[in-house]
Structure 1
Amino acid sequence: MPTRDRLLGVTVAVLWGLNFLAIRVGLDHFPPFFFAGLRFLVIAVPVILFVRRPDVPVKWLLLYGFGFGFLQFAFLFAAMNAGMPTGLASLVLQSSAPFTIILGALLLREKVSRRQILGITVAVAGMCLIGYDRAQAASLIPVVLTLLAGLGWAFGNLGNRLARGEEPMRSMLWMCVVPPIPMLALSTVVEGPTTGWHALATAFSWDGWPALAGLAYIVLLGTIAGSGLWTVLISRHPAGVVAPFSLMVPVVGIAGAWIFLDETPSVLSMVGAAVVIAGCLGGMSTRRRTRTAATTVEPLRV
């Protein structure tokens, strides 16, 4: 991989890692489900108007959008709103990688190598360390919600994989069309029919502008720019070469939360984080049988 593409990979990791800080800023103003729905609504409207729908089966596009867009972010935003530290949220969401491997084996009859099984085991051990540490300091519920977000992302990965689209960027954009209606309906039921819209109206003020800035970052830099650059890298190189850059995302997320939000993770949580990253990295590594063989690993996108 040339230096230019390595720098692009690092850029994507930084964009996605800082995305968690933008989510935190937005949640300080918006209710979680409304904010998640608004995030996708802002993308969905221009996509419907100006982007041609990808030539993939609708059912798999719906599964992709419902898992990756609705389930993942409903649980993630609820977890962070319930007190899940920003940096640890970026780390625990990595559970989507072992979840994807397990669901692929159970539902798609995909082969799981011994190396992947070992990687999953190590990653789960790291998650248990983090869960134990959080249970001593605060409620375990935010950790559980974040794990459910990782599981929802894994279902979205299966939908994306089954769609087998030849235009991944177009599929990603049309995936954003699926979550707004169910997410805003959930917001209406749980948060109230006017709560989110009132928060949006008050966001156009001096006190509310950071939330709008966070929303703009998530849409423009986190989703469109980050995913666009990632798609370019995946088109140029084997997925197994590109995927390790996603493991830098929680490193950036934890460091950013420490610097800007004064979130200092405990020693046990940092040990757990290192164990999770080691497990994910080990699980995505495979021995090449041919010069072109590579492991397909879904990227971390938030």
Structure 2
Amino acid sequence: MTDTIAEVRADAPRFSPRLLIPLALVSLYLIWGSTYLAIRIGLESYAPFTMAALRFLITGAALYAFLRWRGAPNPSRLQWRNCAITGTLLLGFGNGLVCWAQQSVSSGLAAVAVASMPLFAAVFGAFFGQWPRKLELIGLLVGFAGVILLNLGGDLAGSRLGAIALLAAAASWAFGSLWSKRQDMPEPMMNTAAQMLTGGVALTILALLNGNGLPEAPTLRATLALAYLAVFGSIIGFSAYLYLLRTVRPALATSYAYVNPPVAVLVGALLANERVHALDIVGMAVILGGVAIITLARDTKN
């Protein structure tokens, strides 16, 4: 049985990073950009930490069971520990605090705060000895300026605690991403499953501490939003992100944080009748310019 699985893996097609990296980036840009609206819809019936816990526990357990059935090795004790730490930082605090903050903070303010994550990554990267290149730093600053432009005309009124929670989420996600790159982690898909499982446990604890429970009669609309977050946001999006963390520099891997806000604006306009202003278009153009600079920096020495 083991030999057969090894033969199948050996014969499986291996795609070039030149194809996989653009596909992973586009997946993050589009899918994670649309999750802002999905989270808002899900919060109509589900408490924030409960919604996030269900999302990652269900998908993590399903993916883990499937991988073990296919013969994937179980993570070692050290790998489980590393996944638990990373899953708590990325999913427990990173995603959980975003869900919690969106109860009281406008989507525009959420976009600005979450888009600060690449800047946190650049700062933490310096502590790990990985300073951003000149072009990457320029791209980071241009992208952040674009996000500010995108939200100058929006509703930035939100609770102070919500804003602090969003910044803490961005910092936690950035530190967890950089820390995990230097640790012994499982194979790619098992890494995704283990982090979702351990992150889901952390979110369950946060839900219990916050007094969150299961809704008595969730709406179909909210439940479908939760399903979308689980399948597309978790399995596809999170797998793409972990792949990028292993294969490209942090500035490019985290560039989704700048593209997600304009995508969220467009999704809101198309599906929720949210208005798009002229300044929004300018901000989107500046953001895409910043991402282009970061992408060009990947192949340069400066």
Q: Same fold judged by TM-score > 0.5?
A: yes
Q: Match of 2:49?
A: 33
Worse-superposed segment, 74-83 or 221-230: 221-230
Distance 1:46 1:137, change over 3 A: closer
Say yes or no: does 1:98 pair with 2:119.
yes
Corresponding position of 2:8 = none
Please name the residue that 1:139 is paired with. 158
**CA shift in 2, pair 1:12/1:99, >3 Å:** closer
Mapped contact 1:53–1:171 kept (Cα < 8 A): no
Equivalents in 2 of 1:65, 1:163: separation in Å? 13
Residue of structure 2 equivalent to 1:16: 32
Asked if 1 retains the 8 angstrom alpha-carbon contact of 2:24 and 2:240, the reply is: yes
3-state SS in 1 of match to 2:105 = coil
C-alpha displacement of 1:153 = 1.2
Matched with 1:154 is: 174
Deviation at 1:8, TM superposition (A): 7.3
Q: 1:196 aligns with which of 213, 223, 240?
A: 213
Q: Decide which moves more: 17-26 or 137-146.
A: 137-146
Change (3 A) 1:118 1:17: closer
Task: Indicate the residue corresponding to 1:176 in structure 2.
Answer: 196
User: C-alpha displacement at 1:256, in angstroms?
Assistant: 0.6
- RMSD over aligned Cα atoms: 3.8
- The CA distance in 1 between the partners of 2:31 and 2:144, in whole Å, is 26
Contact conserved, 2:259 with 2:287, CA < 8 A, in 1? no
In the superposition, relative to structure 1, how do residues 121 and 179 fare at CA in structure 2: closer, same or farther (>3 Å)?
A: same
Q: What does residue range 205-220 of structure 1 map to in structure 2 within 5 Å?
A: 208-220=219-231
Aligned-partner Cα distance in 1 for 2:172–2:17 = 34
Contact 1:63 1:159 (C-alpha < 8 Å) held by counterparts: no
TM-aligned CA deviation for residue 212 of structure 1: 1.3
- From the superposition, tell whether residues 151 and 267 of structure 1 become closer, same or farther in structure 2 (CA, over 3 Å): farther
Question: Residue 116 of structure 2 aligns to a residue in which SS?
Answer: helix
Could you report, residue by residue, the CA deviation over 1:116-164 in whole angstroms, capped at 9, with x for unpaired residues?
Answer: 3333333444455567656x75236344433332212112202321225
CA contact (8 A) 1:97 1:280 kept: no
1:239 and 2:248 are equivalent in the alignment: yes
* Matched position secondary structure for 2:213: helix
Counterpart amino acid of 2:158? S
Superposition deviation, residue 75 in structure 1: 1.7
Q: Shift of residue 179 of structure 1?
A: 2.2
Partner-residue secondary structure (3-state), 2:45: coil
Select 1:69's aligned residue among 66, 74, 91: 91
How much has 1:4 moved relative to structure 2?
7.8
Contact 1:15–1:221, Cα closer than 8 Å, also in 2: yes
* Contact 2:143–2:288, Cα closer than 8 Å, also in 1: yes
**Cα pair 2:84 2:199 within 8 Å, conserved:** no
Q: Give the residue type in structure 1 aligned to 2:59.
A: I
Alpha-carbon distance, 1:63 to partner: 2.6
Deviation at 1:70, TM superposition (A): 0.8
- Unmatched tracts of structure 1, length 5 or more: 296-302
* Structure-1-length-normalised TM-score: 0.73
Which amino acid counterpart does residue 250 of structure 1 have in structure 2? P
> Aligned equivalents of 1:150 and 1:117: distance in 2?
18
- In structure 1, the residue matched to 2:61 is 45
Q: Return the alpha-carbon distance in structure 2 between the equivalents of residues 228 and 49 of structure 1.
A: 16
Q: Which amino acid aligns with 1:172?
A: T
Amino acid across the alignment from 1:28: E
Q: Determine which of 155, 179, 183 is the counterpart of 1:163.
A: 183
| Residue 71 (structure 1) shift | 1.0
Shift of 1:101: 1.8
8 Å Cα contact 2:55-2:226 kept in structure 1: yes
* TM alignment of 1:267-282, pairs within 5 A: 267-268=278-279, 271-272=282-283, 274-282=285-293
Q: 2:235 & 2:194 partners in 1: Cα distance?
A: 12
Q: Which amino acid aligns with 1:75?
A: L
Corresponding pairs, count: 277
- Could you tell me the percent identity over the aligned residues? 24
